[in-house]
């Protein structure tokens, strides 16, 4: 029987971070259920604390069997290929393509449920007139874009904190439809593009600061995606290094310029 752990903090995001830190796990390794979202049901925006339940995921026997079966099939296909040539190679490629398409279908077929899940959360936050668009980006990456005519500052939150929480909840919800890798990005008013530009400029400015002072510069904890943006912005610049430190979900970057 899987163990369940209850955590309580001011917001859902803080409760989840607390649980992940204590369990020493990342979000992909746990199932998360929001028991109480605080006052008005979402993110503990007022006085009532949020409460979440974290259940560490275990590798299911079906996954092991599937991986073992795939290895056997691959070995058999290689033997056939050696004997019969390119015809069997084409068959193997078609089988893999078909299998990949079937895996993607689990998210695509349930996209309406995923969209409704996010829509209902945003409506509960005080946005009755909201639309959510679902887009396939390729390579098991999907984007949900929140659209509303109202002020979106509450949806985005400080430095995208609320948007990241929504993204976290949506990805966790979508796990019930697929046990294979996928990634869902939640965006609003093209905030992700704006944030990327801000982070790239921040990276360059902090690199200059590090070089001027002769000291490393530590950034605040960021998501893995944002850390990658910082790293990519400084890649290729001579005598500038970036290093990730700490444990999730409080992992951060250190920029050193010489």
Domain ranges (residues) in the chain: 5-56, 106-189, 193-257
Model pLDDT, residue 1: 60
- pLDDT tens for 141-176 read 999 999 999 999 999 998 899 999 999 999 999 998
Answer CATH for 193-257 from 3.50.50.60, 3.30.1370.50, 3.40.50.620, 4.10.93.10: 3.30.1370.50
β-pairing verdict for 217-218 and 252-257: antiparallel
Domain 193-257 in the same topology as domain 106-189: no
Q: Which residues contact 78 (CB under 8 A, 6 or more apart)?
A: none
β-pairing verdict for 30-36 and 50-56: antiparallel
B/e letters for 4-19, b = 16+ CB within 10 Å, e = fewer, are: eeebbbbbbbbbbbbb
Q: Which residue has the higher pLDDT, 89 or 59?
A: 89
Assess contact for 54 and 5: CB atoms under 8 A: yes
Gap between the Cα atoms of 112 and 97, Å rounded: 24
Q: Phi, psi (5° rounding) for residue 34? A: -90, 110
Supply the pTM of this predicted model.
Answer: 0.58
- pLDDT tens for 14-47 read 888 888 888 888 887 888 887 876 654 444 444 5
Assess contact for 60 and 27: CB atoms under 8 A: no
pLDDT band at 92 (very low <50, low <70, confident <90, very high): low
pLDDT band at 227 (very low <50, low <70, confident <90, very high): very high
Assess contact for 242 and 231: CB atoms under 8 A: yes
Name the fold adopted by 106-189: GMP Synthetase; Chain A, domain 3 (3.30.300)
Model pLDDT, residue 74: 52
What radius of gyration, in Å, describes the C-alpha atoms of the chain? 22
Q: Is the pLDDT of residue 50 over 50?
A: yes
């Amino acid at each position: 029987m899987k163990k369940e752990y209850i955590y309580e903090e001011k917001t859902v995001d803080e409760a989840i971070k607390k649980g992940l830190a204590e369990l020493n796990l990342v979000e992909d390794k746990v199932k998360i259920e929001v028991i109480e979202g605080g006052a008005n049901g979402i993110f503990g925006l007022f006085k009532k604390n949020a409460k979440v339940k974290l259940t560490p995921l275990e590798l299911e026997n079906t996954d092991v069997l599937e991986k073992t079966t795939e290895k056997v099939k691959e070995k058999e296909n290689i033997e056939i290929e050696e004997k019969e040539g390119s015809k069997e190679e084409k068959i193997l490629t078609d089988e893999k393509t078909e299998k990949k398409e079937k895996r993607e279908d689990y998210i695509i077929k349930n996209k309406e449920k995923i969209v409704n899940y996010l829509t209902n959360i945003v409506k509960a936050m005080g946005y009755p007139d909201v639309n959510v668009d679902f887009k396939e980006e390729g390579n098991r990456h999907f984007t949900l874009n929140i659209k509303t005519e109202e002020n979106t500052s509450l949806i985005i939150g400080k430095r995208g904190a609320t948007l990241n929480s929504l993204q976290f909840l949506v990805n966790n919800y979508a796990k019930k439809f697929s046990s294979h890798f996928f990634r869902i990005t939640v965006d609003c008013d093209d905030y992700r593009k704006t944030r990327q530009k801000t982070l790239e400029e921040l990276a360059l400015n902090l690199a200059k600061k590090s070089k001027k002072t002769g000291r490393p510069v530590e950034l605040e904890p960021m998501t893995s995606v944002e850390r990658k943006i910082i790293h990519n912005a400084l890649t290729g610049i001579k005598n500038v290094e970036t290093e990730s430190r700490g444990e999730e979900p409080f992992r951060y970057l250190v920029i050193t310029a010489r």
